[in-house]
Amino acid sequence: MKLRLNKLTASLVMAGSVAAVVGCGGGGNPTLDVATPRAEVVTAAYKYALTFVDAGTGLPITDDLTVTLLGDAVTGDEVVDQDNASVKGKTFTVKNGVLLVAANFDKSTAKDVFTVIAGNRSAGWNESGQQLTKTTSKVGDQVVTIKLTNTKPAAVAAVNADTTLGLAMKVDALPAAAGGVITAAATAVATASKDAKTAEGTTEPVGVASVTFPAGVKATNAAGAPINSTAGVTVSVTKYSNNEVAALSAFPGGFVPSVTVPSTAPAGTIPAGTTADTGAFISGGFAQFNVTDNTTGQALKTFDAPLTLKIDLPKGSKNLAGVDIVAGNTYPIWSFDQDTGKWVFETDGTVKEKTPVDPKNFEVEFTSTHLSYWNLDFYGSTCTGNVAITGRPTGDTRPLTIELVGVAGQRFWRSGTISDSQLGLALYPQGTLVNITVKDSKNKVVGSKTNMNLCATGQTVAVTLPTVTFAPLTVNVTESCRDGVSGKRATPASVYFYDNVARNWSSGYSGNGTLTLNGIESGSTGTLYVYNRFTSSYIVTNNFAVNAPSTVNNVNLPSLACTTGGQPITGGQPI
């Protein structure tokens, strides 16, 4: 008698690699458990928990997101997914705002850099991303947060009303014009004026960004297809302040990206001694400009006539030599290439007074035939910086987050998490001063220092840590036959815990089915995500509580291919 096996099991039987476990089924019939092969174990040294959150609220995005990974390390098959398979040529649909990838840096001759791009315009999520490199990563598990903005009316209204957030948005629907034309008359779309608190706690303007479409301009999508203008287009403009921390932390690509500098770029675009892979940005501010075809939902990328773009630049901004920028100076302008994940130098823009004169902002005006993120940045040389923590009790390994914000005029943002007392910072911008803030697991400030230069000798920050009780969270993940009992065994999995109060993540990957997350404060409540390759999406547990002395959560996946009745399989062939 031949057994009926599912497609996966049948292919393994033919390969002669099936293990058989005989148990007892209902009514005394034997149960034949045909073991599905173990999930592939991710062995790459650098593991990234990619978390996608709303830039306005900080909450995880629960809409589906389309995620692609680009760059040299991807082309060189150095980046793998949760099945331990190369991500080259793949597109992922992320359903719960989390995705695990890992990198086998130095596996090939490729440069050790890749970029994550995520978005979903039909759900209102503008694309954004983060560039990851071996130099700025650590061996083991790490959380990378990517912030996206949403263009739905309620989300836009909430962003513009939030004076603690350095973002301003404008979304306009332009009516259909004949013959693929975006607009019959010249049309400008600009963000409204808005104030927000700076990193230092003062109130300053976010600044304005605008795009002007010339009359009769036509557009094509990424495939070169012309606009379907029967339903018109949606234009979104987002201005990111360079003075507010949440806006800076949403900077796409990060402040230490690998960049592209055309041979036609002016001399000095990259200072002597710096390369396109070893520099860091000092930002004067940035903006995102998007046009979406309402009929197809596709992004419109290129235009047959130049569009005029303007981005405000705060007065008091400095060049790489630390000299204040004045009207008539030039400021480098870069665009974010979503096909490569790199910032590309475009031109030197001229700094102008606004009309009427604004006491707080200049403006930089330029033209382009394509849209994306645009930023005003100097790309300068770097050093290796270091921050040391004092005041941590002996044996205290609670995770602390160190956040670095460049001082006014020299803005950038970096952060890192440590469980000891040292944070090394590769590619720290040379010659800049920084404000250092240390936060505990609940995002409470436990130490700070201002106007520090990390390139000289590094800096030491004293912390005062509250007495708290931590509860290790252990998650055991098993797989079994569909009865939940037969053939049970441990299986690889990735685990994420999102703290609803602190709005931060703890995460890790286990190749043997058991993972313990330390540093979670007892009494924390949040969302627990567990992923294994045999699930179609994450197993999500809401309102999950972590309490002392420890919390254990057992997850079983009834995913093994099993049959009932008949005889056990021997020799790799059905009897």
Q: Read off the pLDDT of residues 66-75 as tens digits, 9 standing for 90 and up.
A: 999 999 999 9
CATH number at residue 531: 2.60.40.10
Query: Is there a domain that residue 468 lies in?
Result: no
Query: Is there a domain that residue 271 lies in?
Result: yes
Asked which of 427, 462, 497 is the last residue of a domain, the reply is 462
Query: Is there a domain that residue 158 lies in?
Result: yes
Do residues 311 and 345 both lie within one domain? yes
What pLDDT does 42 receive? 94
DSSP 35: P
Query: How many structural domains compose the chain?
Result: 5
Nearest to 194 by CA among 174, 170, 175: 170
CATH number at residue 81: 2.60.40.1120
Do residues 509 and 370 both lie within one domain? no
Asked which of 365, 380, 395 is the last residue of a domain, the reply is 380
- Which tokens in the block code for residue 270? 């990259």
Identity at 446, one-letter amino acid code = V
What pLDDT does 36 receive? 63
Nearest to 544 by CA among 525, 529, 567: 525
What pLDDT does 343 receive? 95
Q: What is the pLDDT of residues 396-447, one digit of tens each?
A: 989 999 999 999 999 999 999 999 999 999 999 998 999 999 999 999 999 9
Query: Is there a domain that residue 370 lies in?
Result: yes
What pLDDT does 35 receive? 55
Which domain, by its residues, includes 483?
Answer: 473-557
Do residues 218 and 195 both lie within one domain? yes
What pLDDT does 360 receive? 96
Asked which of 331, 356, 380 is the last residue of a domain, the reply is 380
Do residues 208 and 187 both lie within one domain? yes
Query: Is there a domain that residue 571 lies in?
Result: yes
Do residues 90 and 166 both lie within one domain? no
Would you say 103 and 79 are in contact if contact means Cβ atoms under 8 Å apart? Answer: yes
Do residues 414 and 544 both lie within one domain? no
Do residues 316 and 355 both lie within one domain? yes
Q: Which residues of the chain have pLDDT under 50?
A: 1-31, 565-575
Do residues 242 and 302 both lie within one domain? yes
Query: Is there a domain that residue 269 lies in?
Result: yes
Cα distance between residue 538 and residue 36, in whole Å:
20
Would you say 341 and 75 are in contact if contact means Cβ atoms under 8 Å apart? Answer: no
Do residues 458 and 402 both lie within one domain? yes
What pLDDT does 152 receive? 95
3-state SS assignment for residue 27: helix
Nearest to 12 by CA among 563, 427, 572, 445: 572
Cα distance between residue 84 and residue 511, in whole Å:
11
- Which tokens in the block code for residue 320? 């790489």
Query: Is there a domain that residue 467 lies in?
Result: no
What pLDDT does 564 receive? 54
Do residues 178 and 236 both lie within one domain? yes
Do residues 141 and 156 both lie within one domain? no
Do residues 391 and 513 both lie within one domain? no
- Which tokens in the block code for residue 50? 């990619």
Cα distances (Å, whole numbers) of residue 199 to 144, 147, 163: 21, 18, 13
